[in-house]
Chains A and B, each alone.
Chain A
């Protein structure tokens, strides 16, 4: 079974908690990130949209050690708006089917 990270970026508030939770978990140094949050803003029909989207980097190991111990990845665990999840890609794909502005970051883990 392959696992991935699910992001409901409709609700990501750009709080940086995932970035720093990952740093703490993996002892990453300055300018090293397991996940980065990008900001984008654009004009929709009725209003201006502000969106934040967390994207894992090559440092992301999907928190294999935590998963092995039955825990959630550090970023998912600490996400301030609970807009992240972790699980088998197959299950997560059911979530994205239902949710606009959601995405799965896959991995070969």
Chain B
């Protein structure tokens, strides 16, 4: 065993983005020796993780010093897809980016350039700055059909209750579970989320396990019998895609059995009677038929949830991915509302960015306040999708993904000519990736910023910008609380953090931009906290003081949620709107209802004969974040192949043995998977993770992408009526059959070593 190497310096920062790849903000210490990161440890004092770290954070050294890491800007030398590149300097890269983008703006207008981020990483806010400074309103998460991850929930909470809410696991306090005001949730409903594997959206999922250890009961809604399901008080094995029916069924029981919080409903909600009438359409028998969950379990769950005080709901992406995701989100909001669990300790805490500091803005107001004045309203009105979707126009701030894809292909409402993609391996991650390839190939110019060469870069990029990891960035973070400083611990020569690149381009496109340096920008953004960047760095993180509008609890009673200072929620009626006046005004059904998945044994019985199995994709792995980390061997060793989880009975009926290679196929496409027997899955359902490409294969073959990309089976353009929700990643159908052979050149245990 080696001796402990003494670090020259230890840098206090947080994890966000390139590295672990997540949306979380774990406090960490980076140990540096001779200018190199030698290890990263969890910071025991940081209230987010209290010292803990996940496998991706613990292997960050392999990520940062990986031999395949992009180390210099590249200009395409051959044709797209040939993987021929010329190394260029950063100055040349900046000039090329500026030149190409200026050309597009001059000839077609700034809206013809789209700015594409992937999942919720810190590049988002800075890419927005670049987009707005350039003059394009088209900032989006490309490939995400129906914008259906997080955003349906986000816009619904904004419309229905005025603010975002998260399960209160004491994360708003430094002392965490010991804080005197915190109350342990009596029951947590875990809706389509696996807390053992994921940290989502500013929420460290292991907080749920912390609460379970302290005695919180749990109801797990999941098609799979996961470890957490095995620990739960109640497990509801739901048919994928039917979450909307379950939510309405639970409301039915809670309302009809009068288990709701009458006082809260009376004082703080709008339209209860109309909701009560609507849910009569969803009696337990019918909901049981739709969801495949036994009626008794649905009733038991409704009673357990409603009788527990306080109670909370931790939800995941299946809510958004239901056919009418926004409607499902609203029904779930109604569940915690009528049981009186909003803004109370141990319930659903209203979550705002600490001190309203917006490095990653999540409301139009935040954008207007900090970035908005750089673009005239008539330009803003060109944001794709806003003419069709009033919800997008009023409550969202990004371009609609499916309509952007259409615009790229059809030049309507106007041609798209260029894309700046940052941290989105879109050919791996998008629904209908081949259509994206075709669409993006029509563009005159594509710049991609990333850490590693990937299929999207090889297939489409004209300019490649090597991005810095989280350890190479100064930054600020407030995704809910606390407000954190990110601190550069190391430099990797010729890699640049997106923050620097975006600001440089923003300044080139808008010479009047008020910030001359990142430091100035951070100091300005941090003003509401009363600290500047150096002071925040010194402290590491801060919580707003008690009584601040961005700290809980019971702000609706104290008049802390509305601009006008009156008690109530930030909605037109000042109440939580069970009957949505916004939706009504915009011409949508103001009450939730259930829609069957686009493709299912009931909606498409003919097709279901050909493709009899329900396919649920996108389940998370603790080892990989979306399309990343397959090249980190220490992680790959633990999960070397893309698997298809299948019930042994189903497998047997198809002549498939455990570990056989199989094809998963439907009318849209097919890909290979390795069968993995799983008892805890319904025999009519199969499940597989997404994001696979094979870094060990040849770049010219797009790293084996088309052999393993499950998203080929998922169509685009299935967005919900209001534009939010409806991606079919969780509830499409397929058939599975044995493949004649496995995947040539895929890592085997020996080849990994």
Contact = CB atoms under 8 A, between A and B. Distances in A.
A30 B752 contact: yes
A17 B752 CA distance: 20
A81 interface: yes
A27 B589 CA distance: 59
Interface in A40-81: 41, 47-50, 52, 59, 61, 64-66, 69, 74, 77-81
A81 B209 contact: yes
Interface string A6-33: 0000010111110111011111001100
Contacts of A16: 55, 622-623, 638
Contacts of B3: 65
> How many of chain B's residues touch chain A, expressed as a range?
35 or more
A81 B206 contact: yes
B54 A17 contact: yes
B53 A17 contact: yes
B634 A23 contact: yes
Contact of B230 (A47, A59, A77, A79): A47
Interface stretch (B7-15, B39-47, B67-75): B39-47
Given A30-B633, A50-B227, A77 B41 contact: yes
B55 A15 contact: yes
A80 B52 contact: yes
A87 B167 CA distance: 34
A61 B2 CA distance: 11
Contacts of A64: 1
B559 interface: no
A69 B637 CA distance: 32
B463 to A, nearest CB: 35
Nearest to B636: A30
B185 to A, nearest CB: 17
Interface string B606-649: 00000000000000001100000000011101100000000000
Interface in B288-315: none
Candidate in B53, B226, B679 with the most chain A CB atoms within 10 angstroms: B53
Contacts of A30: 633-634, 637, 752-753
Contacts of B209: 11, 13, 80-81
* Residue among A15, A64, A66, A69 with the highest chain B CB neighbour number at 10 A: A15
Nearest to A81: B209
A82 B227 contact: no
B230 A50 contact: yes
A92 B634 CA distance: 31
B51 interface: yes
B393 interface: no
A77 B227 contact: no
Contacts of A66: 4
Given A15-B54, A16-B638, A31 B4 contact: no
B372 to A, nearest CB: 40
Contacts of B40: 24
Nearest to B749: A31
Contacts of A31: 637, 749, 753
Contacts of A78: 41-42, 51-53, 58
Given A23-B634, A24-B59, A30-B634, A77 B51 contact: yes
A79 B622 CA distance: 13
B52 to A, nearest CB: 5
B258 interface: no
Given A27-B2, A65-B3, A20 B55 contact: yes
Contact of B58 (A11, A20, A81): A20
Nearest to B5: A27
Interface string B181-209: 00000000000000011000000001001
B227 to A, nearest CB: 5
A1 to B, nearest CB: 21
Interface of B: 1-4, 39-42, 44, 50-55, 58-59, 61, 196-197, 206, 209-210, 213, 225-228, 230, 622-623, 633-635, 637-638, 679-680, 749, 752-753
Interface of A: 11, 13-17, 19-21, 23-27, 30-31, 41, 47-50, 52, 59, 61, 64-66, 69, 74, 77-82
18 contacts: A11-B209, A13-B196, A15-B54, A15-B622, A16-B638, A21-B53, A24-B39, A26-B1, A30-B637, A30-B753, A31-B749, A50-B680, A65-B4, A77-B41, A77-B51, A78-B58, A79-B52, A82-B213
The 8 closest A-B pairs by CB, nearest first: A13-B196, A20-B58, A65-B4, A50-B230, A20-B55, A16-B55, A78-B53, A50-B227
Given A50-B225, A65-B3, A78-B51, 7 more contacts: A16-B623, A23-B58, A24-B59, A27-B2, A74-B41, A82-B52, A82-B213
